[in-house]
Structure 1
Amino acid sequence: MNGIRRTAVLAAAAVAATGLMTATPASASHHGPHPVTPWIEVVRAHDPTWVKIWWDTGEKICDAEVTVRADHVGIVYPENTGSYTSFRDEAYLRPARPDYTAFKVDADYDRNTMVPVEATLSYNTCGDKAVEKARIYWLRLPVLRNPDH
């Protein structure tokens, strides 16, 4: 097992032991869109890294936009969207076809920590009578101290 992977496994085990590993209330309801897991990939502090949030849904959604916010974490969205991120192929999500949103994070921390991330998903219910909706999901970004800083 390589060093980064071993560190990530140890970080996840430490978080699980502290009782922080809980599902978000939104993930309990599988009808609408929801993150597949409350975790974002492990990153090193001060090392800009592209990360993904995997999503699933029980009903089709359209025109999806995701914005994220976290204290002391710089966020950069893909060039083609600029102020938000959307799904890999299109701006919609269909049942039984998980997809992800991607963005770059730069965590400004000098220690190992677990950063709460607020992800806001704005979308509509598709079709002629589409209803606009927005939901906030709370996720966790594991940050490992970067020994090079």
Structure 2
Amino acid sequence: MNGTRRIAVLAAAVMAATGLMTATPAAAGHHGPRPIIHWIEIVQAHEPTWVKVWWTTGRRICDAEVTVRGEDVGIVYPENTGSYTSFRRDADLKPGRPDYTAFKVDADYDRNTLVPLEATLTYNTCGSQAVEKARIYWLRLPVLRNPDHDR
């Protein structure tokens, strides 16, 4: 089975097993910022890959910065931010306008695995009396063993 087909089969299996595309009732009542889906796209081990996390919110947030860390996973942020990532449009997230953050991952694994990533979102509530906030979200990064790396 070629690499692309393996990835597609694994993705289908993960989605079927977890009900990945369905929203939970608890998420529906949440007003603050949150990832739409806690799963990141599948990557091959030892292949630096840009990934996206889509976010939504029930209340506007401003000056958002996201940092990510995971065991044996190198993280690189966009050049214009350097030490963090933010939303594609700007550093604000508005209700009804989902946006994504992007970063590059390089998973140092020699097996198929699921790696938990800790994403810390810092932001404020906007306006002249903005309140600074920070939240941690757990994301899941599926990693496929890279047979080319074994050679």
TM-score normalised by length of structure 1: 0.88
* Counterpart residue number, 1:112: 112
* Counterpart residue number, 2:9: 10
Secondary structure in structure 1 of the residue aligned to 2:7: helix
Tell me the C-alpha RMSD between the 2 structures. Answer: 2.3
Q: CA-to-partner distance for each residue in 1:88-139, whole Å, 9 max, x for gaps? A: 0100000000000000000000111110010000000000110000000001
Q: CA-to-partner distance for each residue in 1:32-57, whole Å, 9 max, x for gaps? A: 00000010111000000000000000
Distance in 2 between the 1:97 and 1:17 partners? 27
Q: Which amino acid in structure 1 is aligned with residue 11 of structure 2?
A: A
- 1:29–1:12 distance in 2 versus 1, CA, 3 Å: farther
* Counterpart residue number, 1:45: 45
Pairwise CA distance, 1:147:
1.1
- 1:73–1:23 distance in 2 versus 1, CA, 3 Å: farther
Q: Does structure 2 retain, via aligned residues, the 8 Å contact 1:47–1:107?
A: yes
The count of residues paired between Structure 1 and Structure 2 equals: 147
What fraction of aligned residue pairs are identical, expressed as a percent? 75
Pairwise CA distance, 1:8:
3.0
Q: Which amino acid in structure 1 is aligned with residue 79 of structure 2?
A: E
- 1:10–1:146 distance in 2 versus 1, CA, 3 Å: same
Gaps in structure 1 of 5+ consecutive residues:
none
Q: CA-to-partner distance for each residue in 1:5-50, whole Å, 9 max, x for gaps? A: x3333223444576696979x8454300000001011100000000
Secondary structure in structure 1 of the residue aligned to 2:148: coil
Distance in 1 between the 2:27 and 2:137 partners? 9
Distance in 1 between the 2:109 and 2:115 partners? 10
